[in-house]
Structure 1
């Protein structure tokens, strides 16, 4: 129910903004003409490198592959009442992609309006950087009551995904750790009690991150999380299609991929998630998650072929044949 309210608030806020703000500024033509050319396209890569072109492409690919592997994404699928519900929701997902495009337009509108140079917003930009651009746009354009609606949409829009994430993390711990290793005979009431406690701990931990870490770390933590979560792609996706993949080989591939991705991020002092590889003298910067999961898949496939040739099929394959 809260998610429905969140979606309605966000859609009302953004759709109102992309209609009213262009009218206020004189149309989209003036908005786009006010945006510097350097902000409309990716910069030209330097000689001998693909530069930001490969970085952007691999970040988009890696983020898309990792998105549906997160526990909070799977929670919605596994808790659906039927296959029809999953299909219906999947058909509606493009609406959210369109909304992200509208949100990007708000950034162009903020540039066209020049909110960053307005003295009344100087403190906000000093404290929050460019993240303050959209709030400043609403403050400068709309009456106070609608600004309140917009800010409420932002707040609820952050709280709903956070609550789903904490629930998913709590369920993952309860089912896969607490019940699997500590209390295999736990009752449903105990499972619920432990899950609620862990969910509360996760929320408290999130608050520590918010108040104790610099704000700019948020994106980097998201990208670093993508490096780790994408390593289960061969096991939970490819393993369903390619039955020859060996469980031990998948585990070794996961270990190699996780270690390699973490090492790439460590070389960037965990302040970035892109790593440049050189192929025939051409530097190809890219998302470490993509490079590491490719190595993960290669290791899993090669070792599966070796294990299969040696006659070691593993417990999963033996159980399948039985």
Structure 2
């Protein structure tokens, strides 16, 4: 019996999930008519997200389309070396716990809306705030592009090419813009919950089906031993250094994602935030570990795929498993919808935060401080739509694999970490030192990235961060500090 996703079957699945997401936006709007009158309500869900909704919105932020669609192909190409992808996500949780509870308290104390809000409050420097906003917008735009590419590849791969890449991108971006425009953060958080449940169930069923029908890890190990022994080993020397540098790059970078930080401000209470993180601690094994195994099993199931072909690995495996029986067919239907919904939910989170930085931190703070909250929201929405149009044009012909797009954004985003995190605890940290460090670190990381320079196998973003930190620390000690500055810093940070 032919059960692979094709024709009207795939179209109906897309329409079903699209209708569900639109329904969430409409219901949220009808229940919260004042959503467009308040920045807090539109961008933070009224600062009232509970444990489960907060957990799933963090889950959708951390485990995006890149994880489910992009990680298995990378594991397929390099083998067991990519086991490092599981500690990636453990490192992110560790980083969250170093600053998220304290940042939540600052957010509550000062009514903060965005991460740039905190940087502006802490350093009171236009130069620092604008540079941080630019770096965050760059990272968000980069990440949004990644999600658009993932939408197209997910739809095309999981329908066996029945639905073209470009059509999948346009359809779901339109859905995303409509429900995000209607319901703001609440729509985003509720769709995150819906896709998270579907995604977890579908991914586990894909793994179970792959083990049952394709032989699992033993079969893949036998194949690799015979035909690709290099995929069985772990790196030595420089490779280990590269592992740890990527671990730091991703751990710090993902923890300071602007849309992740905004979720910290959205929590109902500090207790709610900590309980959500407790649940998140299990997810690296349940999600990243599972999709890693899918990629490894795929090595023997679909041998000798090119790089471009391997990018569609999840779709190939889902269709193959769906062909086995009706149970796995419907499980893959759920996975199919969950993957697409997960990608869209991550994209809407990014777009929401992108708009909030534009409306609150640039337009509302420097261009038109007298603007009403409704006008700020409208400006943020319009700029967000313009950014989407530009990124869709780029995504029409994607500029590389998902993994390459994924790494690029972290090189510059982590340059805001000293201001965001160190500024929470160290009163002596000076605005001028932070600005110089952030600027020099950005220039250095950019140059090294474009020149493909990686001394000792360490990513350029970390070299930039090292210089950035040194300038921040040494500069803050060398620069004179007035009694007023000292008192001001103590007052801002003090609880």
Partner of 1:252: 436
Partner of 1:160: 345
Shift of 1:208: 2.1
Counterparts of 1:61 and 1:175, CA distance in 2:
30
Does structure 1 residue 170 correspond to structure 2 residue 355? yes
Does structure 1 residue 5 correspond to structure 2 residue 194? yes
- Aligned match of 2:315 in 114, 135, 139? 135
Change (3 A) 1:40 1:254: same
Once superposed, which parts of structure 1, at least 4 consecutive aligned residues long, lie more than 4 Å away? Answer: 313-316
Does structure 1 residue 106 correspond to structure 2 residue 294? yes
Partner of 1:319: 488
Counterparts of 1:233 and 1:127, CA distance in 2:
33
Number of matched pairs: 293
Counterparts of 2:264 and 2:405, CA distance in 1:
25
Does structure 1 residue 196 correspond to structure 2 residue 381? yes
- Aligned match of 1:17 in 206, 217, 239? 206
Counterparts of 1:200 and 1:79, CA distance in 2:
23
Partner of 2:148: none
Normalization by structure 2: what TM-score?
A: 0.56
Shift of 1:65: 0.6
User: Tell me, what secondary structure is at the counterpart of 1:81?
Assistant: coil
Shift of 1:222: 2.9
Partner of 1:75: 262
User: Tell me, what secondary structure is at the counterpart of 1:4?
Assistant: helix
Change (3 A) 1:253 1:25: same
Contact 1:170-1:196 at 8 Å conserved across structures: yes
Shift of 1:146: 4.1
Contact 1:234-1:297 at 8 Å conserved across structures: yes
User: Tell me, what secondary structure is at the counterpart of 1:186?
Assistant: coil
Q: Which protein has the bigger helix share? A: 2
Shift of 1:228: 1.1
Contact 2:216-2:297 at 8 Å conserved across structures: no
- Aligned match of 1:239 in 423, 438, 463? 423
Does structure 1 residue 66 correspond to structure 2 residue 270? no
For 1:80-120, what per-residue CA distance to the aligned partner results, in whole angstroms no more than 9, with x for missing partners?
2211221122112133312111001111121122x246xxx
Which moves more between the two structures, 67-76 or 18-27? 18-27
Which moves more between the two structures, 163-172 or 2-11? 2-11
Partner of 2:400: 215
Change (3 A) 1:110 1:315: farther
Partner of 1:120: none
Computed over aligned residues only, the root mean square deviation of the Cα atoms, in angstroms, reads 2.2
Contact 1:22-1:31 at 8 Å conserved across structures: no
Does structure 1 residue 89 correspond to structure 2 residue 276? yes
Shift of 1:126: 6.6
Partner of 1:280: none
Counterparts of 1:75 and 1:82, CA distance in 2:
14
Counterparts of 1:27 and 1:267, CA distance in 2:
41
For 1:183-229, what per-residue CA distance to the aligned partner results, in whole angstroms no more than 9, with x for missing partners?
1011121122122222322332331231144232x433332221111
Counterparts of 1:221 and 1:33, CA distance in 2:
32
Change (3 A) 1:19 1:39: same
Residue segments in structure 2 that go unaligned for 5+ positions in a row? 1-189, 324-328
Partner of 1:122: none
Residue segments in structure 1 that go unaligned for 5+ positions in a row? 45-49, 118-124, 269-274, 278-283
Partner of 1:41: 233
Point out the structure with max Rg over C-alpha: 1
Change (3 A) 1:298 1:19: same
Map of 1:300-311 to 2, 5 A cutoff? 300-307=472-479, 311=480
Change (3 A) 1:196 1:265: same
Contact 2:217-2:296 at 8 Å conserved across structures: no
Normalization by structure 1: what TM-score?
A: 0.83
Counterparts of 1:41 and 1:127, CA distance in 2:
20
User: Tell me, what secondary structure is at the counterpart of 1:289?
Assistant: helix
Counterparts of 1:202 and 1:90, CA distance in 2:
31
